[in-house]
Structure 1
């Protein structure tokens, strides 16, 4: 049994989602967003860190997974996103929470089956996979998708590791 915190970082809205994995199946625990409202960018980064630190202190997850930064054309936006990611990573690592990173393509592939899935498709699949009564907000759905992706990756590694140990590859 493992509680995974998924994070979809943003410089104004950071999504978070928590799933409990039992016998390889993810189960929804909570999700939401941290809305950084300060006018000053530095203070928004502080709000993101404080909000995630509060979520971590409340739920005490075992693992954390976060989406990697995708750089398109706007370098300034990518830098700000990277700083928001950094605040999230520090919130996790400051309490010794292991952090895994996944690309958006990997997350979409894991949850929807295609790396080019739309936000609507991710939201619909998260609703179905976790049996939610309604579609979560976009940023929260993305964070839940990160957590579900990590649960799939962790399960695959455990199966490979267990099979390798049985075959005597690891001693």
Structure 2
């Protein structure tokens, strides 16, 4: 199926076909080598994305490959897809730092002390805060980060390489 077709574009058509019971396997065959088309086609359930300059023998191989239950991507598309995945996937430390960026400066001080294993009383003494204030900061930062326990916060700080 081509990405651009008269009447209804290929992505919309593929999406409708692939939602139907007993849906056929869909391979996109197009001159439009754009990442957003590739991503959308794969998200919709297409099992292949080939370019129209694919040699005829490779088209036949692609159809056979898809018929056996495997996927087939044009080599140029596959190379870009892998490259974008590798370059966009944040490391564990980067992902943890991104989550921690939502904290205020004071919450950051509290979570770092918490990650060192300090109690609320010890954090309060170190940061010159009352224990109820520390407890409020801990509760707020746990909620903000979607965490249930102090140990999860400590692990997040450790993952971010900030401990």
- TM-score, normalising length: structure 1: 0.24
- TM-score, normalising length: structure 2: 0.25
**Larger strand fraction of residues:** 1
Greater relative contact order structure (CA < 8 Å, 6+ sep): 1
Structure showing greater radius of gyration is 2
**Larger helix fraction of residues:** 2
